[in-house]
């Protein structure tokens, strides 16, 4: 493996030690499509089981110490957030980003914070403020926001009025956050709203974050883009504006498919990570970004799919770190497009797996985390414990 000028194996390993990826609690539970769930015997049935499964991913990869949680799904009414945080610590992980849920209840049929009804807007806001208090109580420094708000038909509601409602809501929540907390504003071009979505793209998320306050940033879900979208362009732009807050990693063929990253377009993942690495090289410091997985595996085994995603992220991050910036700058200065492109392709085509295996062994991790997990017998053991508690079939919203 050829290292670029200025990069040593020690520097590469040190940067890897700081590359941590958060996995989502909902990625360990039974999921499916809008038509039905596909049940897996070993899928988690409780929040504690989700945390235990996430702890397995961290145990074998060494880079996933935190777990993102959804408030309604993971903190049932009356439960003590500190109790769950203590359970996580006991299992070897911590609670990470807090995700409010303002899309599930029947009252949100016409939206949450953008709803015409002030009582519905107040309910959504109170839930988000409760989420801030939960984050404070357990030491989480990230509030991750995604809204299903939008309309299905032209004329259904005033788009401009809905923009104003969203702006006011985000500002109120931002003002309630403690100084160390970051607000991450996610966007999605469509679904479940068929006509217009209130935060439909990165530009709208940028504007809403700016209006919200100085600790609000844009969250880029790599699946939330229309076909052909240049995601690394968006990432580079947001980095330069100091408005990139983090990622929800996944891959897709057509839309928001929640596939394991790199399964469809690994070169795109590399290009995205290269923009981050290039900015860090220029600045001489790591960018303060939240790297999070947002996937719900309905066919692949839950934990194995998560490990696969994490290993893919590490592999392409390593490749991005191998780009020869000096050679790239020289090619750009000469307008040598062929060599400039080849400089990126050379790094992308490097087989970094032997180095990663050695890196893991030096940290008392298995050289092949996926194989080691498969050999552990964990899936068979928990399947035997959990399968009897599951229904015989999965309804669409069971």
247 touches 220 (CB < 8 A): yes
Residue 287 and residue 223 in contact, taking contact as beta carbons nearer than 8 Å:
no
Region of 284 on the Ramachandran plot (φ > 0 left; ψ -120 to 50 alpha; else beta): left
Q: Give a three-class secondary structure readout of 108-133.
A: HHHCCCCCCCHHHHHHHHHHHHHHHH
Q: What is the pLDDT at residue 397?
A: 39
Block residue for tokens 């939008």: 150
Q: Mean pLDDT across the stretch 101-111?
A: 96
**Banded pLDDT at 392 (limits 50, 70, 90):** low
Please name the residues in contact with 336: beta carbons below 8 A apart, sequence gap of 6 or more.
none
Q: What is the pLDDT of residue 393?
A: 63
List Cβ neighbours of 205 (8 Å cut-off, separation of 6 or more).
185, 186, 187, 199, 218, 219
pLDDT at 31: 86
Share of the chain above pLDDT 70, in %: 98
252: DSSP letter = -
User: pLDDT of 12-22, one tens digit each?
Assistant: 999 999 999 99
Q: Do residues 184 and 97 make contact, with C-beta atoms less than 8 angstroms apart?
A: yes
For residue 398, pLDDT beyond 60 = no
14-322: what CATH class?
A: alpha beta
Give residue 95's pLDDT: 98
Mean pLDDT of 99-125: 97
Torsion 185-190-193-196 (CA) sign: positive
Residue 112 has pLDDT above 90, yes or no: yes
Q: What is the pLDDT of residues 304-356, one digit of tens each?
A: 999 999 999 999 999 999 999 999 999 999 999 999 999 999 999 999 999 99
Which residue bears the tokens 């410091």?
A: 285
Phi, psi of 370 (to 5 degrees): -65, -45
CA distance 323 to 2: 10
pLDDT band at 394 (very low <50, low <70, confident <90, very high): low
* Helices 337-348 and 266-283: angle between axes, nearest 10 degrees: 100
Please give the helix or strand (H or E) that residue 359 lies within, else none: helix 353-362
Segment 30-59 shows an average pLDDT of 92
DSSP letter at 166 equals: H
Distance CA 88, CA 157 (A): 43
DSSP of 169-211: HHHHHHHHS-TT-EEEEE--SSSS-SSEETT-SHHHHHHHHHH
Which tokens belong to 304?
Answer: 């194995």
192 upstream amide cis, omega within 30 of 0: yes
Burial of 285 (0-12, 13-18, 19+ CB in 10 A): exposed
CB count within 10 Å of CB 209 equals: 25
CB neighbourhood size of 300 (10 A): 16
- Provide the pLDDT for residue 77: 74
Q: Where are the alpha helices (DSSP H) in 3-69?
A: 9-17, 47-61
The answer on pLDDT for 80 being more than 80 is yes
Poorest-confidence range of 166-175, 234-243, 280-289, 388-397?
Answer: 388-397
38, 30 contact by CB (below 8 A):
yes
Pair of tokens at residue 43: 């899928």
Distance (Å, whole) CA 270 – CA 273: 5
- Rounded to 5°, angle at Cα 100 from 97 and 103: 140
Average pLDDT, the chain: 95
% the chain with pLDDT above 90: 90
């Amino acid at each position: 493996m050829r290292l670029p000028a200025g990069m040593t194996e020690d520097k590469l390993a040190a940067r890897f030690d700081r590359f941590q990826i958060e996995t989502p609690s909902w990625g360990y539970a039974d999921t499916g499509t809008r038509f039905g769930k596909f049940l897996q015997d070993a899928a988690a049935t409780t929040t504690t089981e989700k945390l235990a499964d996430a702890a397995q991913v961290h145990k074998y990869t060494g880079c996933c110490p935190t777990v993102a949680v959804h408030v309604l799904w993971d903190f049932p009414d009356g439960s003590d957030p500190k109790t769950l945080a203590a359970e996580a610590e006991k299992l070897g992980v911590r609670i990470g980003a807090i995700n409010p849920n303002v899309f599930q209840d029947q009252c949100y049929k016409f939206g949450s914070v953008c709803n015409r009804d002030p009582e519905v807007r107040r309910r959504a806001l109170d839930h988000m403020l409760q989420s801030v208090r939960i984050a404070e109580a357990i030491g989480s420094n990230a509030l991750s926001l995604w809204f299903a708000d939008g309309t299905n038909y032209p004329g259904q509601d005033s788009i401009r009025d809905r923009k104003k409602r969203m702006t006011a809501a985000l500002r109120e929540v931002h003002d309630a956050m403690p100084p160390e907390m970051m607000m991450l504003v996610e966007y999605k071009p469509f679904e479940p709203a068929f006509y217009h979505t209130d935060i439909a793209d990165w530009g709208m998320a940028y504007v809403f974050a700016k209006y919200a306050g100085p600790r609000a940033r844009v969250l880029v879900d790599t699946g939330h883009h229309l076909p052909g979208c240049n995601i690394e362009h968006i990432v580079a732009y947001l980095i330069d504006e100091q408005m990139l807050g983090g990622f929800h990693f996944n891959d897709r063929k057509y839309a928001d498919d929640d596939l394991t990253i790199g399964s469809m377009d690994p070169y795109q993942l590399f290009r995205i990570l290269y923009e981050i690495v290039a900015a860090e090289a220029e600045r001489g410091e790591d960018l303060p970004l939240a790297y999070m997985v947002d996937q719900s595996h309905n066919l692949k085994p839950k934990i194995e799919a998560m490990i696969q995603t994490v290993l893919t992220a590490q592999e392409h991050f390593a490749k991005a770190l191998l780009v020869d910036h000096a050679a790239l700058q020289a090619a750009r200065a000469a307008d040598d497009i062929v060599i400039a492109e080849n400089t990126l392709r050379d790094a992308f085509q490097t087989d970094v797996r032997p180095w990663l295996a050695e890196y893991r062994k030096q940290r008392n991790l298995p050289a092949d985390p996926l194989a080691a997990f498969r050999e552990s017998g964990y899936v068979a053991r928990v399947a035997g414990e959990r399968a009897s508690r599951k229904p015989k079939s999965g309804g669409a919203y069971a």
